Amino acid sequence: MIISPLESAFLRACRREQTAYTPVWLMRQAGRYMKEYRDIRAKMSFLDLCKNPELCADVAVTAQQRIGADAAILFSDLLLILEPMGFKLDYTEGRGPVITGRIASREDVARIPEIDPVDSLHFVFEAVRRTRGGLKPGMPLIGFSGAPFTLAAYILEGGSSRVFEKTKKFMREEPLVWHALMEKIGRAVIAYLKGQILAGVDAVQLFDSWVGCLSGDEYRQYVLPHTRKVIEGIRKGVPVVHFGTGTGNFLKEFRMAGGDVCGVDHQLPLDRAWEMIGYDAAIQGNLAPEVLLGPVTEIRKEVKRILDLAARRPGHIFNLGHGVLPATPVENVITLVDLVHEMSVSMRTP
Ligand code: CP3
């Protein structure tokens, strides 16, 4: 018998089909909360790890198997695509990523090369192939990229930010340059995700992690057309998860960008978020990451609350509202996955 990821609970839920239980995976399921990951990181820098396909595959497969998640996610980082685009990338302990390379004019945008990721990011595609090879048959593998806005914001801010004042000022002062930059990033993202799909991922997630700093109007004007183009550019039967945080005020606009699954953070109750998104899309979320710090009685309560709000409607993928926090005990993550499976099965039995 050939076991295909297509029949997995995760991909069935992406297509809003009935599943025997609610599938669950966690953003940053491979990361510092896990001892196996810290042991590898003790020996090399984060960037060196990201460029080592064998170890990336090991980290992704180990995380999926250790916690029993219903999907693996490629181990890489959102910002790697910026290197072949001509930006310098550093991950400094405690400060987060630092991106160097100024963008102020149309000429600066024109100088950013059109990238051929199959060449310049070959280690990512090799990591996809090796991860696929290390997973049990039938286990779905999720590829990912940053969405144009979040990548543009990293470029313009030079790193992480709270208020994104440089990005917002730039959008307003130089709208033509802004749109040119977003288009250029969008083309790179399409090529990058197509490459991951060719290499063997079963679904892709577009992270627009910082888009919640915008209003609905700003989203519609400065971001929506570009994200929509990316999603239209990659969609050929491979489900797209479109994720953002802080999108509660403009989920309708966010949804207009398209995709099969809408990823939401923990600010809105799941039922309200799904109502705003519309039931023609699946939903992914939305446990607050802090809940996983404990105690287990609270985790159980929150899982029940979220499953109740999903109300057995097909198309719910359980996840956090954002990534696993480094201080999270791994046992709590394992318990969470077990609880989602057990409780959702029992809710389906009449
Ligand atoms: O398990 C997984 O989710 C797969 C791997 C993954 C990483 N980053 C590994 C990582 C994924 C999907 C990402 C995406 C990513 N990267 C996002 C979007 C998700 C989100 O959190 O909203 C963003 C914004 C980034 C950029 C980034 N990378 C930041 C801001 C940081 C530093 C902050 C931090 O958590 O340390 C990183 C580094 C990073 N990416 C780590 C990991 C495991 C930690 C690096 C380390 O080992 O020190």
Confirm or reject: Cβ of 143 under 6 Å from ligand 1. Answer: no
Average pLDDT, the chain: 96
The pLDDT confidence band at residue 2, using thresholds 50, 70 and 90, is low
Cα 84-85-86 angle, rounded to 5 deg: 85
**Protein residue with its CA nearest to atom 22 in ligand 1:** 209
Distance 28 CA to ligand 1 centre (A): 7
Mean pLDDT of 308-324: 97
Which residue bears the tokens 């318990």? 335
Average pLDDT of the residues in 270-298: 98
Is 16 a known active-site residue?
no
Phi/psi at 112 (nearest 5 deg)?
Answer: -65, 125
Minimum CA distance residue for ligand 1 atom 21: 323
Residue 235 is predicted with a pLDDT of: 73
pLDDT tens sequence across 38-82: 999 999 999 999 999 999 999 999 999 999 999 999 999 999 999
Summarize pLDDT for 3-50 with one digit per residue, the tens. Answer: 899 999 999 999 999 999 999 999 999 999 999 999 999 999 999 999
CA distance 154 to 124: 20
- The pLDDT value recorded for residue 142 is 98
How far is the centre of ligand 1, averaged over its atoms, from the C-alpha of 80 (Å)?
A: 11
Ligand 1 neighbour 159 (Cβ under 6 A): no
For residue 324, which phi and psi values (nearest 5 degrees)? -60, 135
pLDDT above 70 for 191? yes
CA 87 to chain centre: 22
Instruction: Kindly state if the Cβ of 23 falls inside 6 Å of ligand 1.
Output: no
Active site residue 12: no
Handedness of CA 10, 16, 22, 26 (dihedral sign): positive
φ, ψ (nearest 5 deg) of residue 240: -115, 125
In angstroms, the CA 315 to CA 46 distance is 34
79 alpha carbon – ligand 1 mean position (Å)? 9
Cis, peptide link before residue 286, omega less than 30° from 0: yes
| Mutational pocket test of ligand 1: of 28, 59, 82, the residue with most ligand atoms within 8 Å of the beta carbon | 28
Query: What is the average pLDDT across 343-348?
Result: 91
For residue 63, give the ligand 1 atom closest to its CA: 1
Task: With a cut of 70, say whether residue 137 has pLDDT above it.
Answer: yes
Is 33 among the residues known to form the active site?
A: no
pLDDT of residue 1: 61
> Which protein residue's CA is at the shortest distance from atom 45 of ligand 1?
46
Mutate to test the pocket of ligand 1, among 32, 38, 51, 78 (most ligand atoms within 8 A of CB): 78
Give per-residue burial for 62-90: e unless 16+ CB within 10 Å, then b: bbbebbebbbbbbbbbbbbbbbbbebebe
* Residue 66 is among the residues annotated as catalytic for this protein: no
CA distances from 28 to 34, 76, 179, 215 (A): 10, 10, 30, 27
Among residues 4, 14, 96, 89, the alpha carbon closest in space to that of 48 is found at: 89
Q: Is 96 in the pocket of ligand 1 (CB under 6 A)?
A: yes
User: pTM of this prediction?
Assistant: 0.97
Nearest alpha carbon, ligand 1 atom 43: 31
The pLDDT assigned to 92 comes to 86
C-alpha to C-alpha distance for 241 and 144, rounded to whole angstroms? 9
CA distance 261 to 315: 8
Which of 21, 154, 219, 222 is an active site residue?
154
Residue % of the chain over a pLDDT of 70: 99
pLDDT over 80 at 350, yes or no? no
Distances (CA, A) of 10 to 69, 132, 334: 10, 16, 18
Q: How far does residue 77's CA lie from ligand 1's centre (Å)? A: 6
Amino acid identity, residue 75? F
Note the pLDDT tens digit of each residue in 231-273. 999 978 999 999 999 999 999 999 999 999 999 999 999 999 9
Q: Indicate whether 122 pLDDT > 90.
A: yes
Q: Whose CA is nearest to atom 47 of ligand 1?
A: 46
Q: Is there an atom of ligand 1 within 6 Å of 255 CB?
A: no
Close Cβ partners of 167 (under 8 Å, ≥ 6 residues apart): 152, 153, 156, 157, 161, 213
Burial of residue 226, with CB atoms counted within 10 A of its CB: 0-12 exposed, 13-18 middle, 19 or more buried: buried
pLDDT of 220 > 90? The answer is yes
pLDDT, tens digit, 9 for 90 and up, residues 192-218: 999 999 999 999 999 999 999 999 999
